[in-house]
Chains A and B, each alone.
Chain A
Amino acid sequence: MDLVLKGLNIKGGYELPELYVDAVSDVSLELHRNEVFGIAGESGCGKSTLIKILYGYVEPPLTLKNGSVELYTNDGNTFNISSLSPDELRKTAWWRHVSYIPQNAMNVLNPTTRVRNHFTEMYTAYMGLEKSEAFGRAQKYIESFGLPNDVLAAFPHQLSGGMRQRVVIAISLLLEPNLVLADEPSSALDVINQRAALMFLKNAQKMLGNTLVLVSHDMGIQGILTDRMALMYAGKLIEVGETQAIFDNSLHPYTKALVKSLPRLGDKADREGLKGQPPDLRQPPPGCRFYPRCPHSRPICQKEEPKILEIERDHHVSCWLYVS
């Protein structure tokens, strides 16, 4: 399989005075070319931290304890992201090969300058274009995405939140990176703007044929947009597989509960939530971290951590239920 990124045994968290928050614990994953990969899980499960580590944006208090992240670009280069500092990455890999859309990205635009300057700056700084040429390129670029041209002349505050989000997405794709990491790109938007922003991302991914990683807690969005997905729980990767398989044939009890509790229009059947709450990551429990809430827990779950195993073709799960 054609790989874009390989993360091996990633362990990272927040080093605070006298305590350590184990946000991402022993996560391995592979991202393929030309796919939309989803990362789902509840708030505090470590999905945003994982994305930051994959991007190489590791600054204190976030520390990488163990593991490696490698990025393979289309032109045959390999970047060992986990061993490069943010400054080095900024000069070589970021924007050009991998870009990151952080949470609440619609507020990252500089409020004192027009939107067009955000684009022209990218062209002049990264591609060495003249300013006059850069503006023409920006216009063509914006049009290719079907965005109205008058957006360029506006100040960020004159645009609606949804449009600002689409502008930020367009900027992040400007240098046609092989990998785009989007952290909750639509969570602050209402459903209609959310759909517009997500379709915008999806269409851009199709156009460029690159890889999009979509972090979202919303299983509805995951189900509609992603090809493959991973579920995280309390810093662990618990299930990875094709999205269709995750929904139709979920393996992990946590995934099952999430899929089952999803309300749908036209279906008023009672839905149950889970009992309890995720463990405190300052002192993660031994064994399976889902154990205290699991309806199928067995004695072994409390003692030993289940390994992540391929149970069906391309469908991995970390649960003792599937180990005989």
Chain B
Amino acid sequence: MLEAKNVTRFFGYGFLGRVKFPAVDRVTFHMENNPKILTVAGESGCGKTTLARILLGFLKPNEGTVFYKGRSIHHLRRKERKWFRKEVQAIFQDPYGTFNPLKKVDAYLFGTAKNLLGMSHEQASARTEEVLGFVGLFIKDIMGKNPNEFSGGQVQRISIARALLPEPRLILADEPVSMIDASLRMNVLNMFKELKKKQGISFIYITHDLATAYYISDEIAIMYRGMIVEEGPADEVLLGQHHPYTKALVSSLPEPGKREKWLKEMVNPPGMEVKEFLAPNCKYADICQKKSEKCLKEKPAVFEVGKVKVACWLYE
């Protein structure tokens, strides 16, 4: 369904942006056609949002290609572009940003259904009612209200309903629950699970939160400084933890119950801003506790451990 091949995107910084660094560095993965939830996880600044923007076609990669159902999404003809917009939808971190603050929410949903899908008024209203039903809302809940009259959790639900309007096959969700309170967070995530099961929609869930990632995803890719360092079934990646970076992430996760262990081992992340993006070697080598000579010299190749792909010389 979706395939990324060696996708790389450079950004410039420094004086006039002359120094270039890869925010996304040769990212390769593919999603098959059967519905599943793929998580792209990493810290802030690891390039996950840049990757999301490339996958949505907002940003062109400098190298590499992204294929959706066999077509390169950055070279679509006008008609195909419209088709792609319907097939692939997005949900963002700040749900208020999705809606026009001056427009009533119901008018916005009707309008989207009419313009994007070319529906008549009756069809649009029926479809709006249907998608609101999928997220557990009724049309009377949103009638005549502005976006700021809803709480964050509700607006996020409405933005999911909006994304469902054109019957997408893939939804890309960039940190969809990080602004939502803990007591409501699970409702949104459960909704993704249900949409996958009942409507066969696939998700790419972009997050920094490994606990929720584990809860909903079938597969997970861990990103560090623009590269995917480990990828595979969620169980095997998060419980097996092959890459030293995955280990560090999982062991730092605050979970009640692992109090003793969490407080015992000292971690020391780098204090200065480091130029790891530019490193010609393994980007994690600076802080890796298991590094060898080779890691400082050469970029790691990708090795397969069971169903997991790991970019680390430890597994040579």
Within 8 A of A (CB), among B15-60: 43-44
For B154, the chain A residues whose CB sits under 8 A away are 277
Question: Is A52's CB within 8 Å of the partner chain B?
Answer: no
Within 8 A of B (CB), among A136-165: 146-148, 150-151, 154, 158-160, 162-163
Q: Judging by beta carbons under 8 Å apart, are A273 and B186 in contact?
A: yes
Complex Cα gap A75–B256 (Å): 35
For B188, the chain A residues whose CB sits under 8 A away are 273
Q: Determine the interface band of chain A, counting residues with CB < 8 A from chain B.
A: 35 or more
For B1, the chain A residues whose CB sits under 8 A away are none
Q: Which of B43, B256, B268, B274 contacts A191 (CB 8 A)?
A: B43
Q: Judging by beta carbons under 8 Å apart, are A266 and B183 in contact?
A: no
Q: Judging by beta carbons under 8 Å apart, are A190 and B272 in contact?
A: no
Q: Judging by beta carbons under 8 Å apart, are B212 and A263 in contact?
A: yes
Knowing A43-B181, A220-B256, A270-B190 touch, does A196 contact B153 (C-beta < 8 A)?
no
Nearest CB of B to A298, in Å: 21
Chain B 245-261, CB-CB to A under 8 Å as 1, else 0, gives 00011101111111100
Knowing A199-B266, A221-B254, A268-B215 touch, does A191 contact B182 (C-beta < 8 A)?
no
For B184, the chain A residues whose CB sits under 8 A away are 273-274, 277
Nearest CB of B to A272, in Å: 6
Chain A 116-137, CB-CB to B under 8 Å as 1, else 0, gives 0000000000000000000000
Knowing A195-B254, A263-B214 touch, does A158 contact B273 (C-beta < 8 A)?
yes
For B208, the chain A residues whose CB sits under 8 A away are 190-191
Question: Is A32's CB within 8 Å of the partner chain B?
Answer: no
Question: Is B262's CB within 8 Å of the partner chain A?
Answer: yes
Q: Which of A158, A243, A273 contacts B187 (CB 8 A)?
A: A273
Complex Cα gap A235–B265 (Å): 37
Q: Judging by beta carbons under 8 Å apart, are B186 and A261 in contact?
A: yes
Q: Judging by beta carbons under 8 Å apart, are B212 and A195 in contact?
A: no
Question: Is A302's CB within 8 Å of the partner chain B?
Answer: no
Question: Is B301's CB within 8 Å of the partner chain A?
Answer: no
For A163, the chain B residues whose CB sits under 8 A away are 270-272
Q: Judging by beta carbons under 8 Å apart, are A224 and B256 in contact?
A: yes
Complex Cα gap A202–B267 (Å): 13
Q: Determine the interface band of chain B, counting residues with CB < 8 A from chain A.
A: 35 or more
Complex Cα gap A257–B253 (Å): 21
For B186, the chain A residues whose CB sits under 8 A away are 261, 263, 271-273
Nearest CB of B to A36, in Å: 11
Q: Judging by beta carbons under 8 Å apart, are A160 and B271 in contact?
A: yes
Question: Is A72's CB within 8 Å of the partner chain B?
Answer: no
For A159, the chain B residues whose CB sits under 8 A away are 271-273
Complex Cα gap A275–B274 (Å): 44
Q: Judging by beta carbons under 8 Å apart, are B268 and A265 in contact?
A: no
Knowing A220-B254, A263-B186 touch, does A199 contact B267 (C-beta < 8 A)?
yes
The 7 A-B pairs with the shortest beta carbon distances in the complex, nearest first, are A223-B256, A190-B43, A220-B254, A273-B186, A163-B271, A273-B187, A42-B181
Q: List 30 A-B contacts (CB under 8 A).
A: A42-B183, A163-B271, A166-B271, A190-B208, A191-B43, A192-B249, A192-B252, A193-B43, A194-B252, A195-B267, A199-B266, A199-B267, A221-B254, A223-B259, A224-B258, A224-B262, A258-B182, A261-B182, A262-B182, A262-B211, A263-B186, A263-B214, A264-B257, A265-B211, A268-B214, A271-B186, A272-B186, A274-B184, A274-B187, A277-B154
- 10 new A-B contacts, CB < 8 A, other than A192-B248, A265-B255, A277-B184, are A190-B208, A191-B43, A194-B252, A198-B254, A217-B182, A263-B211, A264-B211, A266-B214, A271-B215, A273-B190
